[in-house]
A and B are shown apart, each in its own frame.
Chain A
Amino acid sequence: MSTTDVAPDPDAAQAAVEYCYEQGWSDGLPLVPASRPLVAEFLAAAGRSPADVIGRLPQLEREVTVELAAINAAMAGCLPEYFPVVLAAWEALMLERSTQGGGWQSTSGPAPLIVVNGPVRKQLGFNCAGGAFGPGFRPNATIPRAIGLIVRNAYGIHPHELEQATQGLPGRWSICLAENEEESPWPPLAAEAGQAAEASAVSATLLRTCEFVDNRHTGSAEQLLADFADTIGRSGAWIFRYASAGIVFCPEHAQLLAGAGFDRAAVRQFLAERSGRSTAELAAVGKDHCDDNGVRGPGDGASRPEFQLMLPGTDLQHLLIAVAGARNAGISMVIRLFGGWSGTAVPVLPAEAVRPA
């Protein structure tokens, strides 16, 4: 039955929405009630066995099957054809060590950061241009919400119970970028993370928050990167010996850098060598010393001039670089990673690629 055959019944719809709230399934916003025929469409789109286990948290005695993921994706408002992207995003997140441990329960309340590459962006109508961090576009908005509902419902991690976020962050369960490959001067992120250049693939990690760098009045790549180095090196986000970060460049910044000869690796090299603070500056905020567990705290109080680098190296696992947004201003986003990033993209597989021929 298509939705156009019969006039929708708002009272029945509302009763169903309320039913979902009453069960404790909602993240606070209305859910699409999932029916067997709707979920069957999701399962058909992915071609995976419904019983396949795709995530397990032994400490909570909970697991996620393909079917449970499909039910939650349907409830999040995804279309069935988004489901292969949901599964790829989930799989990419499972490559992060923290998602196998206590990440979802953490006081830092980290958000998934999902980056989509390849033809699937256009096929499914992802936004990769203006307003890349949302809202306004169904696949960008509903796919990360599906991840959040899986964590809530299949893992049973609810706020104020097993989820202990102190403040959480704006945009938790709502950050799904599609890379602006058309206006990026560099190869797709997924290509750098191990997939073919034209592949549809998803990269994902956990982030603690984002901070903008607005710099639209210099033509110097070095000045521009120095502004990023300063923002990346802030002490507030720095709690262990090293910290990992990332940048979602707007096309204007990326093109300026590429025009000056910087590829992703050169950007990383520049920032790894310059992002940080002096020991004296860190001492002023009680973070100049690392204990045996690598946790920063106050040191001996001696004011030393040496510079402490924030990034542990120049590898992509510790500085994720993507390009998204409109070509209309020099505004980019520094992202704060919860841990490192796996550095590995996961291909989006349509049903015909999964099912044996």
Chain B
Amino acid sequence: MPNAILDPTGRAARAPAPAPGLDLAPRRADLAGARVGLMDNTKHNAALLLSEIGKLLVTEHGATVTVEATKANFAAPAPEDLVERYRQDCDVVLTGVGDCGSCSASAVADGIVFEQAGLPAAVICSDAFVVTADAMAELRGAPGYHYLRTPHPVAVLTTDQVRQRAKQLLPAVVAMLTSAS
């Protein structure tokens, strides 16, 4: 009998993954009085876009922005202590922008972690990185995880264009963070 051809991935020997599926955190009916956390990932225009959407959530939906922090290492998922800070001080989280090879995937990973921590999350990714974002969702046992897509590129937008983008994204952000969807 000939020798078997060996598997170079190490996946064959692995225990089967638990059945995929993510239970989203419970949604509020609306964002009136909700404490909003913003987590930018250092990508160009990310902090501005999140803060502009945050302002609109305050003025148009009666929310309060309680945490505005930066995830220093865009390539890696948010560290536990940062997630815990949002869990303590926020009711919902908005994060992004997934705008590169590794940070789009890790932004989706963050969204899934927030949901598992009981925080409704809205993740914003550039639409050029949909495949890698979806691949990460699958990897984390949440195939089909729903995040917000915004047209690529984001980094070259002017301040006014980012404000415009924030207005465009607002309804989808609200829908994703509430049971209105």
Contact = CB atoms under 8 A, between A and B. Distances in A.
A356 to B, nearest CB: 27
Interface stretch (A84-92, A159-167, A341-349): A159-167
Interface in A137-164: 149, 153-154, 156, 160-164
A283 interface: no
B9 A154 contact: yes
A interface majority secondary structure: mixed
B6 A36 contact: yes
Nearest to B109: A59
Contact of A36 (B4, B101, B132): B4
A195 interface: no
Interface stretch (A65-73, A223-231, A324-332): A65-73
Contacts of B42: 293
A37 B102 contact: no
B135 A71 contact: no
B76 A59 contact: yes
Nearest to A155: B9
Contacts of A102: 74-76, 100-103, 106
B45 to A, nearest CB: 10
B139 A164 contact: no
A212 interface: no
B77 interface: yes
B15 interface: no
A107 to B, nearest CB: 5
Interface string A277-313: 0000000000000010101010000000000000000
Interface residues of A, number: 44
B6 A105 contact: no
Contacts of B2: 12
Contact of B75 (A64, A75, A101): A101
B101 A34 contact: no
**Residue with the greatest number of chain A CB neighbours at <10 A, chosen from B2, B11, B75:** B75
Contacts of B75: 59, 101-103, 105
A101 B102 contact: yes
B151 interface: no
B106 A154 contact: no
Contact of A20 (B5, B101, B109): B5
B85 interface: no
Contacts of A36: 3-4, 6
Contacts of A19: 5
B104 to A, nearest CB: 8
A161 B131 contact: yes
Contact of B101 (A16, A65, A72, A107): A107
A5 interface: no
Contacts of B7: 23, 71
A165 B101 contact: yes
B136 interface: yes
B8 interface: yes
Interface in B135-172: 135-136, 139
Contacts of A106: 100-102
Contact of B105 (A65, A75, A107, A162): A162
Nearest to A31: B8
A257 to B, nearest CB: 38
A1 B136 CA distance: 44
B73 interface: yes
A344 to B, nearest CB: 22
A63 interface: yes
**Residue with the greatest number of chain B CB neighbours at <10 A, chosen from A59, A63, A71, A156:** A59
B5 A105 contact: no
A59 B106 contact: yes
Nearest to B46: A293
B101 A164 contact: yes
Contact of B100 (A63, A64, A107, A160): A107
Interface in A45-92: 58-65, 68, 71-72, 75
Interface of B: 2-11, 42, 44, 73-77, 100-106, 109, 129, 131-132, 135-136, 139
Interface of A: 12, 16, 19-20, 23, 25, 33-37, 39, 58-65, 68, 71-72, 75, 101-103, 105-107, 149, 153-154, 156, 160-165, 291, 293, 295, 297
Given A156-B9, A291-B44, 13 more contacts: A23-B7, A34-B5, A34-B8, A59-B76, A59-B105, A68-B9, A71-B6, A71-B7, A105-B101, A105-B132, A106-B102, A107-B100, A149-B8
